Amino acid sequence: MKWSVWLAAAAAFAQVPYDRIVNTQNEPGNWTTYSGNYSGHRFSPLTQITPANVAGLHVKWAHQFESGRTETSPIVVDGVMYITAPNSASALDARTGRELWKWTRPIPKDYQSIGFGRVNRGPAILDGQLFVATLDCYLVALDIKSGAERWSTKVEDYKPGYSMTLAPLAIKGKVLIGVSGGEAGIRGFVDAYDAVSGKRSWRFWTVPAPGEPGYQTWPQDAKFKDAWKTGGGSTWVTGSYDPELNLVYWGIGNPGPDWNADSRAGDNLYTCSLVALDGDTGALKWHFQFTPHDTHDWDSTHVPVLFESDVRGVKRKLVAVANRNAFFYVLDRASGEFIAGRAYAKQTWAKGLDDRGRPMVIPNTEPSADGTIAWPNLNGATVWFSPSYSPQTGLFYVSTREIGSIYYKREADYKPGTFFAGGGEAGIPNGEKSGAIRALEVSTGKLRWEFPLHSASWSGVLSTGGGLVFSGSDEGNFFALDALTGKPLWDFQTGGAVTSNPISFTVDGKQCVAISADRVLYIFSL
Amino acid sequence: MSKWLLSGLVTITALAQVPDPAVGKKIFESQCALCHGQTGTGGRGPSLNRAKLAKAPDDEALWKVITNGIEPEMPGAWQLNVREVYSVGQYVRSLGAIPPEMLPGNPSAGERIFQSKGCAGCHVVAGKGAGYGPELTDIGTRRNGAHLRQVILKPSTLLPEGFLYVTALTQTGATVRGIRVNEDSFNIQMKDASGQFHSFAKSELKEVKRLRGETPMPAYAGSLSAAELDDLVAYLASLKGKL
């Protein structure tokens, strides 16, 4: 069915079967999964808003959240927008922003966010249900028509430091989630739950136990033999999915403790890696570790971008990642083979990548008692906010952070429910801090253009079929650039820092762009 | 219970509450510094190397913040005992403290020099003066005598973080010079010496010149006697704001 027919039906609270998400390019007026499609593109094929008319964008409506620093990326289906906040979800009329229903779950009094903010990055939708991950580590299924809670499943105990801030990923019959807690000595995992019953289908532990493959990359001596139990490997950013290969791609976070690696000699798999998991079983198909034995908190928790391209004359299925460690990678997504990689931001910790993609680490760049200066800082050259890939331009757009840091190594004692980090950073006095939207050739990572930002941003990027790139800044600007040249074409002062991911959809046939800034969600149209 | 045992217990209880700076530093670095920076310079949390903390005006408030956290972002340190909380509190206070120092000058004489040299033409103190340069109402809580002395003699060698003197060249050929008030990727706001605000879209300017290392404040090296300098420094060091 054509997307226009879906629109004409305009039945509020329409069902979203799996096939609709797989074929989401057929209904560009909707935004049916976190990244807009399973490939992690955050690209809208909509063409109404163009470089020629974008200057005429204006606010259509706004929605105010109860608290600030909103990170939600909405889902929009047939005139209804679904948004989240910590432990809450709402359905809004996409035409006016008026609330249709709201669901909340109390945050337990003794809940603590250890190492991150109380945020939620959005919902997932499948069939007649909306899925929300909560701070206190429950996965909840809501009826899309009423907001009624169909089921809620305890994923883990929040007390030792597990939490959830991410948007779930709904694939065929299953809902996938990951956890936060990499600064609290958790042992991470990716879980899949049956969408109908809420029962767990599988769990992939990101830190292998004794006897499992990968365990040899953790210390074997008696003194540190339990390091894997507190080895980190959080999974707090939504992955991507290839329905043909039935593989889920998920980024894994830092090892624990973050900055003091004395207790965890070895590469510490699967921390700071991308893993490809069988969608039915969670079995590991392959892994690629970007930062072996990380000591800078460079989680590899990013949205993997799936694309196809010729490699030495052969068309291959690939995945691109702009990593927190300042390198851009292209891998074969069927096998995990390293294809290409290069730095896309300032970094001082590696001479480069070898022919298998492993970093050639420069000695003495790890944290020290007196402090070690290194680029990028602990938030990385980019972090959780989404990049965007436009199949039209073949460019990978990433909001890049250019900040160095002084890294300190400190003692780390594990006590459940407290920080288990072993150090941290301090800013370089009078150090330069900047940011940029960079457009990289997706197959090579080569810089095509950049738009400098006044400071490092926390906003994701959206590209569109109309030839635009949208993103935001820490100073509250929401703006549009020409997707081919990076030329600024429009900007709007939102009044608060933009710390979220933009999306695009249609209402009554008109293209809209949505972004949250602090506590306000703005919808723009021509 | 024997008198001896009772007094022993009292001593132990009292000792248990005496803060230990080494303990405070260690806990701060492992539990607080992730957000507040290893040296208290801030990060995702606010900087703490300041004399006054907005959420902790006194020590009792500070202990409460450390123990309970601040919703929704800051976790409470529920695992710490009373002595550890006191120790962390003391360490946090030390991050922003200017160690007490004996300064040679006379603050009252310094205040007269402040007026006669025209300092109030650019700086606000306790609601009086013009606000072109930084406000000095509580400068004594943020800067020590040596720092103040150097700024007065050679201000361009010690500019405050974030301070920028800029020149904007407009399309019509006009030049506006002033202190940057705000800047983002698309716009800049500045204040000129008369206190007037200017707002420009960067795309409409020919150029924004960043006069790094420059300041409109004159260097007073050579125009103050040694005694006058001592007095002026003593006056500024005495400005502690509303305590």
**DSSP per-residue string spanning chain B:** --HHHHHHHHHHHHHHTS--HHHHHHHIIIIIHHHH-TTS--SSSPP--SS-BTTBSSHHHHHHHHHH-BTTTBPP-TT--HHHHHHHHHHHHHHHPPPP----S-HHHHHHHHHHTTGGGT--BTTBS--SS---TTHHHH--HHHHHHHHH-GGGSPPTT--EEEEEETTS-EEEEEEEEE-SSEEEEE-TTS-EEEEEGGGEEEEEE-TT--SSPP-TTTS-HHHHHHHHHHHHT-----
- According to the model, what pLDDT value does residue B170 have? 95
Say if the Cβ atoms of B29 and A453 lie within 8 Å.
no
Domains of chain B, first to last = 3-96 (1.10.760.10), 107-159+217-237 (1.10.760.10), 165-210 (2.30.30.100)
Q: What is the dihedral of CA A111, A115, A117, A118, to 10 degrees?
A: -20
Inform me whether the C-beta atom of residue B4 falls under 8 Å from chain A C-beta atoms: no
pLDDT digits (tens, 9 = 90+) for B225-237: 999 999 999 999 9
Number of folded domains in chain A?
A: 1
Say if the Cβ atoms of A371 and B38 lie within 8 Å.
yes
Say if the Cβ atoms of A415 and B79 lie within 8 Å.
yes
pTM of the predicted protein model: 0.93
**pLDDT lower than 70: segments of chain A:** 1-12
Question: Which listed residue (A294, A297, A299, A518) is catalytic?
Answer: A297
Q: Which domain holds residue A374?
A: 3-525
Say if the Cβ atoms of B37 and A424 lie within 8 Å.
yes
- According to the model, what pLDDT value does residue A9 have? 44
Inform me whether the C-beta atom of residue B241 falls under 8 Å from chain A C-beta atoms: no
- According to the model, what pLDDT value does residue A3 have? 47
Active site residue A370: no
- According to the model, what pLDDT value does residue B73 have? 80
Q: Which residues of B touch A183 (CB under 8 A)?
A: 34
Nearest by CB to residue A113, choosing from B75, B182, B187, is: B75
CATH, residue A345:
2.140.10.10
Say if the Cβ atoms of A454 and B184 lie within 8 Å.
yes
- According to the model, what pLDDT value does residue B161 have? 82
CA distance A158 to chain B (A): 13
ipTM of the complex: 0.87
- According to the model, what pLDDT value does residue B50 have? 85
- Residue pLDDT tens, chain B, 243 long: 455 555 555 555 555 678 888 999 999 988 898 889 888 888 888 899 888 898 998 999 999 999 998 887 888 888 899 999 999 999 999 998 888 889 999 999 999 999 999 999 999 999 999 889 999 999 998 899 999 999 999 999 999 888 999 999 999 999 999 999 999 999 999 999 988 999 999 999 999 999 999 999 999 999 999 999 999 999 999 998 875
- According to the model, what pLDDT value does residue A4 have? 46
Name every residue in A having a CB less than 8 A away from some CB of B. 67, 86, 110, 112-115, 117-118, 183, 371, 406, 408, 410-413, 415, 417-419, 421-427, 429-430, 451-454, 473, 475-477, 479, 488, 491, 493
- According to the model, what pLDDT value does residue B241 have? 86
